[in-house]
């Protein structure tokens, strides 16, 4: 199996709500997978369980064949900092830090030197068209620029998988599409796999594969490409 990330029989419950009711997924390097589905169907829960933010109640997630359910909280948090990158709807940048410091943060937290981390951050900010804005704070950036800082932050430590939850949700259509173009080009360059939760069909259409979640399960016949094992 060549999957970077695989899920087998994922189950997650909140009280009597079955947010995930048995999900199997295989994601390989360079893959771009859009996760779509109605509100409350389990998309964000799936992304959080795949990325080790939440622990599965049943089944497991495998990164390069290694079960992440076996890791303790420290191990999972290290995994999130090193192997995964995250882009959220609102960017979630640290308001007191500059663009380059924000983009360097995962590398700094993972123990990288300031020089090396800021160097990688500047490189990605430049590639994403933000040269000259490195010293600005999030409040001094447009929504689209802030999202590109978030992409640089998700990429600078060269993660295996980038998770994006409604990354274009706060952007106008054109800026959202530009952000997707930047994300996909950057991911292609690093061969990172990308998992995007989105309500936006035009954004899902940019993915290589789309999977629809319904009531915590992959909807029958919803898969474009061979997502399920
Ligand atoms: N922390 C929680 N406690 C209790 N129930 C939760 C919690 N998080 C999610 N749920 C429930 O689990 C189900 C799946 O939620 P989830 O957020 O994964 O759906 P979603 O598809 O991402 O929804 P949306 O598109 O509206 O963001 C829903 O019924 C939701 O109400």
For residue range 183-227, list pLDDT tens digits in order: 898 888 889 999 999 999 999 999 999 999 999 999 876 666 544
pLDDT tens column, 154-186: 988 889 999 999 888 878 888 889 888 988 988
Q: Which of 13, 17, 21, 48 to mutate to test the pocket of ligand 1 (most atoms within 8 A of CB)?
A: 17
Q: Is the ipTM of this complex over 0.90?
A: yes
Q: Which of 37, 45, 42, 40 is nearest to 212 (CA)?
A: 37
Residue carrying the six token digits 């951050």: 121
Q: Which of 15, 16, 19 to mutate to test the pocket of ligand 1 (most atoms within 8 A of CB)?
A: 19
Domain ranges (residues) in the chain: 29-52+70-209
> 25 forms bridges with which residues in the sheet?
7
Q: CA-to-CA distance for 111 and 117, rounded, in angstroms?
A: 9
Q: In CATH, what class is 29-52+70-209?
A: alpha beta
């Amino acid at each position: 199996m060549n999957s970077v990330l695989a899920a087998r029989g994922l189950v997650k419950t909140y009280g009597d709500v079955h947010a995930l009711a048995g999900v199997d997924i295989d994601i390989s390097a360079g893959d771009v997978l859009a996760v779509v589905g109605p509100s409350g169907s389990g998309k964000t829960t799936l992304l959080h369980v795949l990325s080790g933010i939440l622990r599965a109640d049943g089944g497991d997630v495998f990164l390069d064949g290694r079960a992440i359910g076996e890791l303790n909280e420290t191990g999972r948090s290290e995994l999130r900092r090193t192997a995964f990158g995250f882009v959220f709807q609102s960017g979630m940048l640290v308001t007191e830090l500059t663009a380059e410091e924000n983009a360097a943060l995962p590398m700094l937290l993972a123990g990288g030197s300031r020089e090396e981390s800021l160097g990688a951050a500047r490189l990605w900010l430049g590639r994403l068209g933000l040269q000259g804005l490195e010293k600005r704070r999030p409040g001094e950036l447009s929504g689209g620029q802030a999202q590109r800082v978030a992409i640089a932050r998700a990429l600078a430590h060269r993660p295996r998988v980038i998770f994006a939850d409604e990354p274009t949700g706060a952007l106008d259509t054109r800026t959202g599409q530009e952000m997707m173009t930047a994300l996909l080009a950057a991911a292609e360059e690093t061969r990172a796999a990308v998992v995007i939760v989105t309500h936006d069909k035009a954004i899902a259409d940019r993915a290589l594969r789309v999977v629809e979640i319904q009531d915590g399960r992959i909807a029958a016949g919803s898969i474009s490409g061979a997502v399920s094992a």
